[in-house]
Structure 1
Amino acid sequence: MLKTVTAALLASVAMASASIACEITLKAADTHPDGYPTVEGVKAMGKMLEEKTDGRICVEMFHSAQLGEEKDTIEQTQFGVIDLNRVSFGPFNNIIPESQIPSLPYIFRSVDHMHKVMDGDIGAEILGAFSDHDLIALTSYDAGSRSFYNSQKPITSMEDLAGMKFRVMQSDLFVDMVGALGANATPMPYGEVYSGIQTGVIDGAENNWPSYESSGHFEVAGYYTLDQHLMVPEVLVMSKASWEKLSEEDQKLVMEAAKESTAVQRKLWADREAASEEKVRAAGNEIITDIDKTPFIEAMAPVYEKYVTDEKLKDLVARIQAVE
């Protein structure tokens, strides 16, 4: 017992010393659980930042929606209550027009295509638009392809979607996308999806392999159709108020650490995606891959017409489609 108490005291002292050594501690939020690739990506950024600043700047990670769901944490980040926040592009669609472009259905042909776009000048232009909304977009992370899952039946065509109720992120674009496919969209916080499917409030939702698995949604929604309608990147943002408190040199180091963490997150993502798929398939869920995406893609025409309205956004779409 004495050894245990002594070890605990030493650990506490070590933690207190580490905290004292950090002149600046950046509070980071994520809705996903500990160990999830985006959470680990931000942790990797924190380690890199500590190394770059000799321990002056640290990152304290609050995972599992400890600081609230995405809508709440976005507002807290804009006000400077939260310093760093990993969020999908979706929740920003209603306030930042440029954020709608990576969120468009079938805008990216593949993961490689998405990486080339988001790592290049086009991606920098999209991220730069966040600065007008009290946020600094540092980098983009991978989030895989989003597909529909439900508790009712296999979906192999648009006809199968008719009348079904699917949870979507709180984004008008996502609501219209589901509506264009003939289904009913229900905006709902991520944390309420499991019980929503379980109680029949909704028939299902749409997300990637790791989210489908880690959330436990695969336990209540046994049918997963790989229509891959969205390949929306995640974005790591920083409060503009917190950013402006840093020196120019520290701003540069924060940006460098964020960019360098992207490669770590992408590798973790690829590994996690494979592991999640294996777990879901082992559970006996029905995975539908035999699906003609052409009618789904064609049904998106009115969505593009509604959201890609001005010449600037049309130019972004054209430039993305031209990237080889």
Structure 2
Amino acid sequence: MNINNIKKVICVCSIVMIAALAIIISENAAHAARKLKFYAPYPSDSYTSKALVDLVKMIKEKTDGEIDFKVFPSGQLCIYEDSIEEVRAGTIDASFTWLTKRYHPKLDIGNLPGLCTTGFPEYELMFLDPKSPFCKIIETYSNEAGFVSLGGWLDPRIGFILSKVPKNPKDNLKKNISLRVPAMPSVRDMATAMGYNTVTMDYSEVFSALQTGQIDGASNIPAEDAYLQARDMIKCFDANNMGSTPGWLIINKKLWESFGPKNQKIVQDCIAFQIKKWLPVARGTEKKYEDELEKHGVKVIRYSSEEAIKRSAEIRANVWPKYADTYGKDTLKVLEDAVVANQKKVLSGKK
């Protein structure tokens, strides 16, 4: 090969290399400029969504713009269950959602009753501490399901809305009350163990069914929703916190891996910071709407820590053994020990 041909080959190779490099740079730039989609189920004016907005703003600042999310509130991208599949596929980059067994047979373990009946201090220990046994369990299940768990997020504690006041709300005797429950077996078993007649119904049907007398009440309703949507339909809000399904943050696996250890730590640190910042708001919002219900003439049934812990133990003993085959006896034992340890901290005032 003469010198001119060699020069031509070198020239062609250089052009190919430059073109390939330009494509790589262009793709990286496009990725860096792309607004990452963050799904949120609650409206934009809810504290959970506001906290997410603060979170993504902080992540962008701390990563010098390398990670730039946009929060899409009010479930506008899809329903919460579908957001999990969208995150797995990468069409949504991250989500605040509720985990369901649709994507893994054990992912709805957070629906077990009695995980944090005393309220936010116990909720924080069980669901918001990355080192908690529950968070470690969800990390394993999430990895098996094909996405990454970023841990629990702030979420209102839930109770029962009732169109009549039960005579025996704090015990588990039979009640002549038909209670709507979601299509979750452990929630149905919880309500049954608490003495209610259960009716499986979609959340969208709850308030019309209450108005027509088709049901006497509904489970898994926050005080805020009870006041804003049902205050004229109900006579009682039972703030039992027995159902403790936690809201959860998840992210696409490939995207998470692309962040690298440095930015992954920044994201985790930002989540911890925002949780600590917004926890007082979450507690205050719960109290505010319980107080508003009372001002409106709705009886609010509250529980002391001792009452909540006693009821929790009774319901766990009744319901959890039914799910030994689903989650495994060893896993349930780990969670039982965690519940007891967290409750001791609450009673001792350490949390």
The TM-score range, normalised by the shorter chain, is: 0.7 to 0.9
Q: When the two structures are superposed, what TM-score results if normalisation uses the length of structure 2? A: 0.73
Structure number with greater CO (CA < 8 Å, separation at least 6) is: 1
| Residue 178 of structure 2 is aligned to residue 164 of structure 1 | yes
| Code of the aligned partner of 1:30 | A
> 1:295: how far off?
6.4
Instruction: Tell me the matched-pair count.
Output: 301
Deviations 1:251-286 (A, max 9, x none): 333333223221133122122112222322222222
Equivalent residue in structure 1 for 2:334, among 304, 315, 320 = 315
Deviations 1:164-218 (A, max 9, x none): 13133x422112212223434444443443233234443322223223234x133
Q: Which residue is 2:125 aligned to?
A: 116
Say which SS state the counterpart of residue 47 (structure 1) adopts: helix
Residues 98, 52 of structure 1: alpha-carbon distance in 2 compared, 3 angstrom cutoff: same
Equivalent residue in structure 2 for 1:38, among 38, 48, 51 = 48
Residues 218, 247 of structure 1: alpha-carbon distance in 2 compared, 3 angstrom cutoff: same
Distance 1:29 1:115 in 2: 22
| Residue 141 of structure 2 is aligned to residue 127 of structure 1 | no
Q: Which residue is 2:13 aligned to?
A: none
> 1:21: how far off?
11
Distance 1:182 1:93 in 2: 28
1:143-162 → structure 2 map (5 Å cutoff): 143-154=155-166, 156-157=168-169, 158-159=172-173, 161-162=175-176
1:98·1:126 contact (CA, 8 Å) conserved in 2? no
**Larger displacement relative to structure 2 (308-317 or 32-41):** 308-317
| Code of the aligned partner of 1:225 | D
Gaps of 5+ in 2: 1-29, 346-351
Say which SS state the counterpart of residue 32 (structure 1) adopts: coil
2:125·2:132 contact (CA, 8 Å) conserved in 1? no
Distance 1:189 1:67 in 2: 20
Say which SS state the counterpart of residue 236 (structure 1) adopts: strand
In percent, how many aligned pairs have the same letter? 23
> 1:51: how far off?
0.6
Residues 200, 155 of structure 1: alpha-carbon distance in 2 compared, 3 angstrom cutoff: same
Residues 79, 211 of structure 1: alpha-carbon distance in 2 compared, 3 angstrom cutoff: farther
- RMSD of aligned Cα (Å): 3.1
Q: Which residue is 2:227 aligned to?
A: 213
| Residue 322 of structure 2 is aligned to residue 306 of structure 1 | yes
Gaps of 5+ in 1: 1-19
| Residue 220 of structure 2 is aligned to residue 228 of structure 1 | no
Q: When the two structures are superposed, what TM-score results if normalisation uses the length of structure 1? A: 0.79
Distance 2:162 2:84 in 1: 28
> 1:45: how far off?
1.0
Equivalent residue in structure 2 for 1:107, among 103, 111, 115 = 115
Equivalent residue in structure 1 for 2:72, among 58, 62, 67 = 62
